Chains A and B, each alone.
Chain A
């Protein structure tokens, strides 16, 4: 069945350094890949997304890359700040009318 694997489950980086979270997906028909940030006790919030016709997308300190051949995609956060501490979820979907399948999440700790 459809599955999204996410690694690592926990990541600690020094403030100012970069963080990378990697995901793989099993459904080759997936063509939409959103990333969500969930702070403790709060709702997941969409931070960036990428469609399959694009290999990379950047928004300020956040970037996502997609390799459709290998079926993996990654989130890159540069110049990390304390407010980046949260749980990050990758997800995959076939598109507008389809469900979104989430990974298990990565708990990111930004160390002072």
Chain B
């Protein structure tokens, strides 16, 4: 049973560029949440997708957007990258309670 898979694992982008991160949820999970984890901090909630709709959103600017596809996979898009966007981006899927996290995408903005 595949867990949550994220791609790519590492990414280096230049300030001002745009980036797309991808997530495939655990088999049977219909809800996908995205988190940003800065170094030495706890994961910060970005948004959650369910039935292809953004159900909840955290305190992140509109530069952060997402999408969920009919097969429940999801994308996180970040426009106009800032140096402060450098972080580990975690995708988590769930069906009931309790998230299963992917290994994350390490984004470095230079």
Q: Which residues of A contact B (CB under 8 A)?
A: 1, 6, 32, 34, 36, 42-46, 49, 51, 89, 93, 95-105
Binary A-proximity of B37-76 (CB < 8 A = 1, otherwise 0): 0001111110010100001101100000000000000000
Distance (whole angstroms) from the CB of B70 to the closest CB of chain A: 20
Pick the contact of B41: A42, A93, A101, A104 (CB < 8 A): A104
B78 close to chain A: CB less than 8 A: no
Q: Contact: B101 with A49, CB < 8 Å?
A: no
Q: Contact: B41 with A105, CB < 8 Å?
A: yes
Q: Which residues of B contact A (CB under 8 A)?
A: 33, 35, 40-45, 48, 50, 55-56, 58-59, 90, 94, 96-104
Q: Contact: B45 with A99, CB < 8 Å?
A: yes
Q: Contact: A42 with B45, CB < 8 Å?
A: no
Q: Contact: B42 with A49, CB < 8 Å?
A: no
Pick the contact of B55: A44, A46, A97, A105 (CB < 8 A): A97
